Chains A and B, each alone.
Chain A
Amino acid sequence: MITTLFRPLVLIAVPLWMAVNLVSVQAEPAVGTLHGITGKADGTPIASAQVVIHRDDDGNDLTVISGFDGAFSAPNLKPGRYEIKASRGELHSPAAIVVLAAQQDVKVDLALAATTETPADISPALARKLEVMEARIEQLEAELKSKTAAEQTPSPAPHGDLVATLTKDPSAIPIVPATLAKPDMSKAVASATAPSVQDAQPTAIPAAPAVDNATPFADYDWTWLNGSPRNHDVAYDSKFFTPEIRADITWNYDFNKPSDDSEGGSSELFRANEIQLEQLGLGGDFHFDNVRARFMTQFGEYSTATIRNDGSYAKGQWDLADADRYLAEVYGGYHVNWMHGMNIDAGIFMSYVGLFSYYNFDNWAYQPSYVSSNTPWFFQGIRIQIFPTHHLKIEPWIINGWQSYASANTRKGLGGQIKWTPFPWMNILSNEYGLGHDDLYTPNRGRIHTDNSLEIKYFDHPERKGLDKMAFTFTGDLGCEFGGGVSCHNDSNGHPKQSFVGYMLYDRYWFHRDMYALTIGGGQINNPGRYLVLIPPINGESASSAAINSPYFTFNPGDPFKAWDTSVTFDYMPRQWLTFRFEGDYRHANVPYWSGAGGITPPPGTNNNSPTQYACMNGNASGATALSAASVACAPNGGVWFPDLRRDEVLFDIDLMVKF
């Protein structure tokens, strides 16, 4: 039965398919060519003029630079109406309008003139130059006439003997005019011509796409990478300073509807059902004489939400949290011209542990999975970047600790990144960390971590208006803590296992010449001991207070935490500087973790500034860190208050992100 139905379809479809392919193979390419010369009104060619060929139908622009002889050529142009203009410095040509048909080769000569009147008199310097040139010509002519022919040699003769080899009859040499044939450039001319013998240019092999094989990661376009901004242009730059401005505004709807609008478990989404400024970043790069500096601010939610995940500043004085809270990255350094470059920088610099960028504009999703969201966004210390080849970066770090402004204990952290781009479609990133003792008030507990990412672009057709690009990323992390009462693998001394295993996978599809994109992804972690679990901000809990006591969501050795999440992200990117993002997230944990309808703030909805103690139902601190004692203390106040924590969270967010 199926065969009976299928056969007629095959009989129709196969010949149709073959016919379509035949037509497409035999069809002549429906393109034309524009060529011409840029020059002055007197016909003198102007080299290196910028010729902008604008196609009216679709607004596409093509820029070509005229050659040493003023000639330019733009092959493979679609038929249509074109506006062609040339400019070079103060010189500009009027626009030439050309209607180009398929298979047509149209010659367009463009005459450039100053837009403002220039003095007709020749400057003394130019006059002097002309005199020198004239003298040189006379000298050469004199030499030409006075010398006799001599034997030619395979190696270049000394220049002084040049004319000695010219001719046996120097007087017969005609003196040709200094200027060779010039085209009529008195006006812009557009005429359809078949290539003539005179017009035919010498065979010049068309330029293959040139590739920079010296500058690191300059050989191909890497703006598709997750964690890299997609901008293709620089809005403004100068020899000394290249500014950068970022604005990130977000609104999200939490289907748990927390009464205090407060969310936990994320380093990207913090407040529910409110329009919030995530980050205003102002800064840029300073660069001069191989000395470099960079800074970027983080006004907005980042200035408080990132800081609270670092407990190290609670050790000792000088309030580093306040000192650094508005700075996302600040460093200075020196660039050494060694191999393919080497930098020595010190300060606060970005971490790409977990692949995603700290700046959401650069990412494929707003809420990354735990492997990224729970691992460092920044380090403070010294960073050395070494580029042995243009495809490889080796970047060791000597840092205060794991995402920390200070050192939680005495031991500093060591780490590093290796980035390798073996193919134009592949990026491999590996981050390693170790040595540091990063648990506040727990000396001698070490931490090791490895984070490895693979990014592959498996489809790329930038010319298409439909689906034009596809890529995926995979990140896998392993880590553990040891010492101070915990171990990496439930050791024989009874120290519970405190480890981190996680992965995330994202797949992204770009459409309509990268104007739209759809990302589907998610990940999973298992983090017994919860040392990388983001502390829910219950009653204002932060990393520093949780290091003393976290009564509601504990961080005891061996405490289990498993979670997974998935997200769907749709990006509308009408300009390279602007993204509108629409994202849905589902997150699940094996223990109550996410903010529920009751919220995570004690009554009446304000912190009591004692996050290390249980709170009472009237909002007051119980004065007790143990539940039994708190129950007694809170009995007159309606009992002990508990946050509303859930195992599931569903979010939908809309984000507006700008990056110049």
Chain B
Amino acid sequence: MHRPQLSWLIPCSAVLLIAAEPIWKDKPIASWTDEDTKQILTHSAWAKTVVAGVTRRQTEDERREGGNMGQLTGVGYDGVDQRKAQLAAPGSLFAAPAVVVKSQGIRLLVRWESALPIRVAEVKAHVPDPPTLSNDGYSIAVYGVPSSFAKGDPASLGKPLKELAFLRREGKKDVKPSSVEVFELEDSVAVVYLFPLSAEIGKKDSIVEFGAMIGRIRVSQDFNIEEMQFQGKLEL
């Protein structure tokens, strides 16, 4: 007996899914729903969820071998993994040591704050006082960095991070941020990078990689410039 072949449905479904236009392409702002707003703020061409890697914690001996002393603290160091050694259960002296994986990574949100659709969505979602820098530029925020015990004004907390971030495009020199600020949120920290407009990012750049080292957290996220168009115009 001949059985109907349904395998063709899989590629067709995929094509249909791909063909679905993102809501920010044509949907009027007035028609945005809560879900639409949420999607723009968290999963859109301007907002990407990234699982950032965490570098391994050095022991004091390793720190000293590298010319340093003491564990580093502050933004990107506090709360990224278990700081103290875990005690093994007694009576297991001959069992193979347990594999203790300190951290598999941290889910962060990287958002192009200066882009118009993000700012619109923030207003619609009543995001209170978004941590944006006062100066103009390409503003990219990293949300979800674990809270730090470090205290200070946003600019001084962000200063050490300035040299450790970049926007990278193929065939062009890396763009360094002109300023970095760190904002304490309710239960995490947001790091906001301001890149100069002189970088002149355009459609020809195709892909822009945002990379940053925040303490022991290494963030890297590509943004597709072609997709970052809001109602027909490039929005950064």
* A residues lining the B interface (CB < 8 Å): 46-48, 50, 52, 58-69, 71-74, 88, 132-134, 136-137, 140-141, 143-144, 152-159, 162-163, 165-167, 169, 172-178, 180-181, 201-202, 204-212, 214-218, 221-223, 228-229, 231-237, 239-240, 242, 244, 284-287, 292, 294, 335, 340-343, 385, 387, 390, 393, 462-463, 465, 512-515, 574-576
> Which of B102-127 touch A at CB < 8 Å?
102-109, 114-116, 119-120, 123-127
With CB as the reference atom, state the residue of chain B lying closest to A419. Answer: B65
Q: Is B138 an interface residue, CB under 8 A from the partner?
A: yes
Q: List 8 A-B contacts (CB under 8 A).
A: A48-B144, A68-B143, A69-B49, A132-B129, A154-B202, A181-B35, A216-B68, A287-B70
Q: Mark B77-89, 1 if CB is under 8 A from A, else 0.
A: 0011110111011
Across the interface, B62 reaches (CB within 8 A) one of A50, A60, A166, A222, namely A222
Q: Which of B20-55 contact A (CB under 8 A)?
A: 28-30, 32-35, 37-38, 42-43, 48-55
Q: Are B52 and A294 in contact (CB under 8 A)?
A: no
Measured CB to CB, the closest approach of chain A to B187, in angstroms, equals 5
Q: Do A173 and B29 form a contact, CB below 8 Å, given A180-B38, A223-B59, A237-B60?
A: yes
Residues in B168-222 with C-beta less than 8 Å from chain A = 187-188, 197, 202, 213, 216-218
Q: A67 near B69 (CB under 8 angstroms)?
A: no
Besides A50-B82, A64-B104, 18 new A-B residue pairs in contact (Cβ under 8 A), listed by A number: A48-B188, A60-B98, A63-B102, A63-B103, A137-B128, A153-B233, A157-B116, A169-B30, A174-B33, A176-B34, A210-B105, A211-B55, A222-B62, A234-B59, A335-B68, A340-B67, A393-B67, A574-B94
Report the bound CA distance from A239 to B35 in whole Å. Answer: 45
A217's partner among B65, B82, B86, B114 (CB-CB below 8 A) is B65
A385 in contact with B67 (CB, 8 Å)? yes
In the complex, the answer to whether B213 meets A155 with C-beta atoms within 8 Å is no
Task: Point out the residues of chain A lying under 8 angstroms from B49, CB to CB.
Answer: 67, 69, 201-202, 204
Name A's interface SS. Answer: loop
B61 near A229 (CB under 8 angstroms)?
yes
CB-CB nearest in chain B for A137: B126
Contacts of B80 in A (CB 8 A): 65
- In-complex Cβ contact of A575 among B58, B88, B139 (8 A): B88
Given A178-B128, A214-B164, A285-B69 contact (CB < 8 Å): yes
Whether, in the assembled complex, B153 has its beta carbon less than 8 Å from a beta carbon of chain A, the answer is no
A64 B103 Cβ-Cβ under 8 A: yes
Which residue of the partner chain B has the closest CB to A385?
B67
Per the bound structure, the CA–CA distance linking A212 and B65 in Å amounts to 15
Chain A's nearest CB lies how many Å from the CB of B190? 9
Task: List B contacts of A136 (CB < 8 A).
Answer: 128-129
Chain A contacts of B107 at CB under 8 A? 65-69, 71-73, 204
Q: Name which residue of chain B comes closest to A170, CB basis.
A: B30
Q: Which residues of B contact A154 (CB under 8 A)?
A: 202, 233-236
Q: Is the CB of B116 within 8 A of A162?
A: yes
Q: Which of B96, B109, B125, B217 contacts A69 (CB 8 A)?
A: B109
List residues of chain A with CB within 8 A of the CB of B126: 137, 140-141, 175-178
Do A165 and B116 touch (CB < 8 A)? Answer: yes
Cα separation A156 to B234 with both chains bound (whole Å): 10
A512 to B93, CA, bound (A): 12
A202 to B233, CA, bound (A): 25
Contact of B106 among A65, A205, A342 (CB under 8 A): A65
Q: Name the A residues within 8 Å of B146 (CB-CB).
A: 47-48, 65
CB of B9, distance to nearest CB on chain A (Å)? 16
Please state if B55 and A176 are interface contacts (CB–CB under 8 Å): no
Kindly list the 7 A-B residue pairs having the minimum CB-CB distance in the complex, ordered from nearest: A67-B107, A68-B144, A210-B53, A207-B105, A233-B85, A156-B114, A216-B66
What B residues does A223 contact at CB under 8 A? 59, 62
Name the distance in Å between A230's Cβ and chain B's nearest Cβ: 9
Q: Is B19 an interface residue (CB 8 A)?
A: no
Q: Tell me the nearest residue of chain A to B58, going by C-beta.
A: A218
Does B92 touch A at the CB level, under 8 Å? Answer: yes
Complex: how many Å from CA A176 to CA B38? 10
Given known contacts A156-B139, A173-B124, A237-B60, A61 and B85 CB-to-CB distance under 8 angstroms: no
Min Cβ gap B192→A in Å is 13
Taking CB atoms, residues of chain A closer than 8 Å to B105 are: 64-65, 206-207, 210
| Residue pair A217, B216 in contact (C-beta under 8 Å) | no
**Bound CA span A234–B236, Å:** 44
Q: Which residues of B contact A163 (CB under 8 A)?
A: 120, 123
Rounded to whole angstroms, the CA-CA distance of A236 and B85 in the bound complex is 9
Q: How far is the CB of A108 from chain B (nearest CB, A)?
A: 15
Q: Are A294 and B136 touching (Cβ within 8 A)?
A: no
Residue of A at shortest CB range from B126? A178
Alpha-carbon distance A404/B120, docked complex (angstroms): 72
B101 at the interface (CB under 8 A from A): yes
Does B97 make an interface contact (CB < 8 A)?
yes
> Contact: B120 with A228, CB < 8 Å?
no
Are A294's CB and B69's CB within 8 A? yes
Closest-by-CB residue of B relative to A216 is B66
Q: Once the chains bind, are A59 and B89 in contact (CB under 8 Å)? A: yes
Q: Which residues does chain A contribute within 8 Å of B216, judged by CB atoms?
A: 210, 212
The interface residues of chain A lying within 8 Å CB-to-CB of B82 are 50, 52, 63
Contact of A341 among B32, B53, B68, B104 (CB under 8 A): B68
Q: Please, which residue of chain A has its CB at the minimum distance from the CB of B111?
A: A68
Q: Let me know if B3 is at the binding interface, CB within 8 A.
A: no
User: Which residues of the other chain, A, contact B125 by a CB distance below 8 angstroms?
Assistant: 176, 178, 180
A133 and B230 CA atoms in complex are apart in Å by 28
The smallest C-beta distance from B109 to any residue of chain A, in angstroms, reads 5
